[in-house]
Amino acid sequence: MTDPVPDATLSAPLLTLVPAVDIEVMALLCTRLCHDLSGPIGAIAAGTELLSDGDDDFVQETAALLSHSADSAVARLRLLRAALGVLHGGTVAPVQTLEDYLHAVHGTDITLDWPEKNSHVWEQADVARIILNMALVAIDTLGGRGTISIHLATSNTIVVRATGKRCQFTPTLLAALEGNRQTISARTVQAYYLACLTADGGGLGHQSAEGWIELSSSLPSQGK
């Protein structure tokens, strides 16, 4: 069960965290990655076993399941690599990466609204990392169906909003967003990691009310 969140709007000033990556945080990120990949990979393994015992129709159905599970695993891995991995400059394709992830993992349950998705600003590696981590945290707040909206509020401010019937910040997720290491777990480490990522650029803003949450962050300076 998730912790209840008051209906009143919540807000927070920009954080002034000092980034900190230690063994515990890395272990929790690895736990998150393994959890996200274990489902589709397990389905592939189970489907492979079933293929040897089925008739033609059953084999076709199982093959379709295997294909879907493989697509889901690949999409998850690509997104997590871009969000958590080391990116050595150059450009990234966060729009396609996020669209592929939502389609393969969530189907039609989560829609993406990204009016400025053709802007080249998203392709900068450091910007892509922040936007994908913001999106992952926003997705975690939905608890089911909903919409993820991404836009530039100003020329240098990214805003990600999640909207859905069950959308909310849990107290533990809020604490992680505010840099509280005492409460982080595999469920909230993504939020803590996002807070660390955005600390050098001025920090992370957040607000929410019933049915929606919003995250905001300044674009990182080029050359960082």
Position 44 in a domain: no
> What's the total number of domains in the chain?
1
Mean pLDDT across 20-49: 68
pLDDT of residue 182: 84
Mean pLDDT across 38-48: 71
Record the tokens describing residue 158, joined without a space. 């990214």
pLDDT tens-place string over residues 177-208: 998 888 888 889 899 989 988 987 778 999 99
Binned at pLDDT 50, 70 and 90, residue 55 comes out as low
pLDDT tens-place string over residues 5-33: 333 333 444 344 434 456 467 757 777 77
C-alpha closest to that of 208 among 154, 130, 137: 137
pLDDT of residue 37: 73
pLDDT of residue 224: 44
157 - beta bridge partners?
154, 218
pLDDT tens-place string over residues 125-172: 888 889 999 999 999 999 999 999 999 998 889 999 999 999 999 999
Q: DSSP assignment of 144-172, as one string?
A: SSEEEEEEEEETTEEEEEEE-TT----HH
Number of residues that this document lists for the chain: 224
Residue with tokens 């905001």: 216
Phi/psi at 12 (nearest 5 deg)?
Answer: -150, 140
C-alpha closest to that of 149 among 124, 168, 169, 131: 131
- What DSSP state is assigned to residue 124? B
pLDDT of residue 48: 67
CATH number at residue 161: 3.30.565.10
Mean pLDDT across 43-61: 69
C-alpha closest to that of 114 among 91, 134, 84: 134
- CB-based contacts of 16, cutoff 8 Å, min separation 6: 199, 203
Cβ 127 vs Cβ 103: under 8 Å: no
C-alpha closest to that of 125 among 155, 84, 159: 84
Position 36 in a domain: no
d(CA 134, CA 150): 9
- CB-based contacts of 130, cutoff 8 Å, min separation 6: 158, 194, 197, 198, 217, 220
Range of the domain at 208: 10-30+91-218
Q: Quick check: pTM over 0.85?
A: no
Position 105 in a domain: yes
Position 131 in a domain: yes
Helix (H) or strand (E) holding 100: helix 94-101
Position 136 in a domain: yes
Position 104 in a domain: yes
Position 191 in a domain: yes
pLDDT tens-place string over residues 87-124: 655 667 899 999 998 998 898 999 999 999 998 888 88
pLDDT of residue 81: 80
pLDDT of residue 52: 61
**Of 45 and 185, which is predicted with more confidence?**
185
Position 98 in a domain: yes
Cβ 84 vs Cβ 29: under 8 Å: yes
Q: For residue 49, give the amino acid letter.
A: E
d(CA 189, CA 28): 6
pLDDT of residue 67: 75
- Per-range mean pLDDT, top range of 52-56, 207-211, 219-223: 207-211
Considering only 66-75, 83-92, 173-182, which range has the smallest mean pLDDT? 83-92
- CB-based contacts of 57, cutoff 8 Å, min separation 6: none
